[in-house]
Amino acid sequence: MDHIYIEGLRVFAYHGVFSQEKRDGQEFVLDLTLGLDLTCAGETDRLEDTLNYAQAVETAVGAMTAASYDLIERAASAVAQALLGTFPSLCEVTVRLSKPHAPVDATFRNIAVEITRTRTK
């Protein structure tokens, strides 16, 4: 399987368990790995034979901002579902959703979840 990577996509959204997170929002960071067959695009050099990166970004941002979830696990799942639902050529998607400013009383570099979802036949 071939892959397209979209890394470091910053999205301002309103996910979190605490009321101030839902009220004030915060920045999240998405890293996406999109699994599909890129053989045809590699031969034809045509945009319509691959997955349009701009549309994938728009879909992911839309999924992150369409609703407010308590858990980043649910937000990541919404992104994966939206991508699989939008792009029929997509076989698998891995979503790493980081919450670098999570309200945790500790010093940390990042808190993240990573999920992989595959298209069901």
**What residues are annotated to the active site?**
99
Q: Which residue type, as a one-letter code, is found at position 61?
A: V
Distance CA 40, CA 49 (A): 6
User: What DSSP state is assigned to residue 66?
Assistant: S
Place of tokens 């500790």: 106
The C-alpha R_g of the chain, in whole angstroms, comes to 15
